[in-house]
Amino acid sequence: MGKKNILTRSKRKKAEALLNEQQFDKARILFQQICKLDPLDADAWLMLGIIHANLGNLDKTIECNQRAIGIRPDFWEAHFNLGKALHDLGRLDEAEVSYKKTLDLNPGWPQVLNNLGNLFQVRGNPVEALECYRRAVENKPNYATAYVNMGSILHEMGRDQEAETSYLQALKVNPADPVALKNMSTTQLSQGNFENALKYGQELARFHPAQVDIPVIKARILERQGQLEQAYDFIKPLVDQGKENTEIALLYADICQRVKRYDEAVALLERVLATDDIKTNYSDRISIQFKLGALYDAAKNYEQAFKYYKAANESKRVVFNNDAFSASVDKLIETFDTQISGNLPRGSNDSERPVFIVGMPRSGTTLVEQILASHPDVYGAGELEDIRLAIANLPRLIEIQKPFPDCFADLTQQTVDQVAQVYLDHLQQLSNDARYVIDKMPGNFLHLGFIALLFPRTHIIHCMRDPLDTCLSCYFSEFKGTAHRYSYRLEDLAHYYNDYHRLMQHWYRVLDIPILNVSYSELISDQEAVIRNILEFLNLEWDDACLRFYENKRVVNTLSYNQVRQPIYTRSVGRWRHYERFLEPLKSSLVQGLNLTK
C-alpha cells in the first residue's frame, strides 16, 4: 500500500508539471493511470476533467467531473467545471443546475456568477444576466470580463450610457482590454458619436494591431452616415488583399448590397463560407447565410435566396416551445379578464407622455416611429426594455415568490405608482421637453394589460402588416440573441402569429385605453392620409417633416435603420408571392388578417 501511494504521488507530481506546461496528452495519460490506481481520488478526476476540457473532449470532461462529485458531493470546483462543459455543449438547463449548485457551496464566487450571466444572456433573459454580472463585480470589483459582459447586455437593452460606464470600468482595470475597446467603439457608433467610435477603434488598433483594420471602422462609420461610395473605397482594398475575415466580408456585403454590386458580395461570401474556419464557427456561418439570402433576394434570385435563409434558420441551436407560449397567452387572457382586471389598482398619474408602438416584428414599427419622431413634439426612444424589466422585477418588488402574471393579485396602488414613476423618470432622462416619447418595443403587445394599469391615459399604436409578409420578413431577419426563437421555423412563426392575433383580439375587447391600428399597406399606398390619422390620434398639429421622415438624422438601431433613410417604397408589399412555393408550412396554419376594431 505504501509503494502504491509513493507511485501515485510520483505520477501526480509529474502529471501536474506536464499540465502546467500544457502538455495535455502526456498529462492525460498519467492522470488516467492515477485514477485507475485510486478510483476514489476526487482531485485526480477533477484534473483529468480539466485536461479533457483543454483537449476539447467535453463528454469526457462531464464524465470526469461527475465521478469527482460522486466521490465528494460538496466539491464545488467539480460542479463548476461540469457546468462549463454542459454550457459549452448547449445543455443550458443542466448547466444552470450545476452553476447554482456551485453557488450554494461557494456563495458569491465571481466566475460562476459571470458564467451564469452568460448563460442567461444566451437564453435571452437580460434581467437575470444583468443581476449575475452585477453580483460578480460586487464580489470582485476589478473583474474586467464581468464589466464587459454587463456592458454588452446593457447595450443590447438599449441602455447605452450605462453600457459605456461598464466598459469604462473594464478599461480602468485594463486599458488594453480588446473587447471593451471594440464594444465602446460599437456603442459610440450606434449612438451616432462617430468621432468617439473612431477614437476607441484607434486605441484598439494601437494595443492590438493584428485584431483590427482602421479602414473597417472608417468604412462602417461612412456606411452608417450613408456615404456608401466612400465606404466602398475604404473596404475594397482589404478585400483585394485577401483579408476575408467575417467582419470584413459582412461589412463589404452590406455596402455592396446598398450600391447594387450584388455579384461582388456574393462571390466573396460564398468563398468565405467554404473555408474551414466558417464550417466550425456556427455563429459566423449563420450571419453569412442570412446575408447571402438578402443579396440573392435583392438580385431577384428567389430560389437561391430562400435556400440560404432556410439554411441559416435551420442552423440555429435553440427551440421554441409553442405550447408554453400558448399557455402564457392563456394566462394573460385569464389574468386580464374584464372582471378581474377591473379590480386591479391603476396608476394615479395622468401622464400622456408615453406612447407605445406595438405589433409583430417587421410590421412597420420602425417606420411609424421615424415618421412620428420627425414631428417637433415627439421623441423616438427606440425599443426600450423598461416594461419587460419592470415585469421581471415585480415579484421582488412585491416581495412574493409568484411569477408574472400570478403576482398581479398582490399588486398595490403604491407598487403600480412606483413602477410607473421609474418609467416616467427614464423618459425624462431621454428627453426633457418632448410632449410624447415613443417606446417602440414591438413585443410590448404582450404587456398591454400591464401598461394600461401603469398609464391609464397612454396611447397605443398597433402596426399591422400582411401576415405572410410579416412572418416571411421575420424568417429572413437575423435577430440577435434568442428573444425571437419562434422565427427559425415557418411552423413556429405561424403558431406565434396566431397567438399574437388571439391576444390582440382580447386587448381590444377588455382594455379602455385608445388603440390605433396602422396598416402597413395603407401607409405605403396613401402615406399622407395615414400620417394625418396618426397625428390626429395624438392630437398633434400637422408638420410637413413627417412626410420627409427619411431626412431625419436621428440614430436608428433596429434592423430597419437603412429603410427609414429612404422615401417609402412599395417593393415590400406582397413580397411573399416571390416565395409562395416554399411557404406551405406557413400558409396552411396562419390566421389571415386581423380585422380588429375598437
Q: Which pLDDT belongs to residue 598? A: 47
Count of CB atoms situated within 10 Å of the CB of 554: 14
| Predicted pLDDT of residue 482 | 66
Residue 21 sits at φ, ψ, to 5 deg, of: -85, 0
Instruction: Write down the residue that cell numbers 408615453 correspond to.
Output: 354
Element (H, E) at 358: strand 354-359
Q: Which residues of the chain register pLDDT less than 70?
A: 1-8, 212-213, 279-280, 338-342, 481-482, 553-571, 592-598
Q: What is residue 563's predicted lDDT score, i.e. its pLDDT?
A: 54
- The pLDDT score that the predictor gives to residue 24 is 80
Neighbour tally for 381: CB within 10 Å: 21
Sheet containing 378-380: give its strands across.
378-380, 436-439, 354-359, 459-464, 515-519
d(CA 50, CA 204): 32
Chain mean position to CA 236:
30
Q: How far apart (Å, rounded) are the C-alpha atoms in residues 35 and 391?
A: 50
The Cα–Cα gap between 156 and 421 comes to: 23
Residues 432-477 pLDDT 10s: 899 999 999 999 999 999 999 999 999 999 999 999 999 999 999 9
Q: Which three cell numbers stand for residue 479?
A: 435577430
Q: What is the pLDDT of the chain when averaged over all its residues?
A: 88
Choices 3.40.50.300, 3.30.365.10, 1.10.150.300, 3.40.1440.60: CATH for 327-587: 3.40.50.300
- Cell output for 374: 420627425
In this structure, are residues 570 and 526 in contact, taking their beta carbons and an 8 Å threshold?
A: no
CA 160 to chain centre: 14
Residue 298, Cβ density class (10 Å: 0-12 exposed, 13-18 middle, ≥19 buried): middle
3-state secondary structure of 371: helix
Q: Phi/psi class of residue 256: alpha, beta or left (left: φ > 0; alpha: ψ in -120 to 50)?
A: alpha
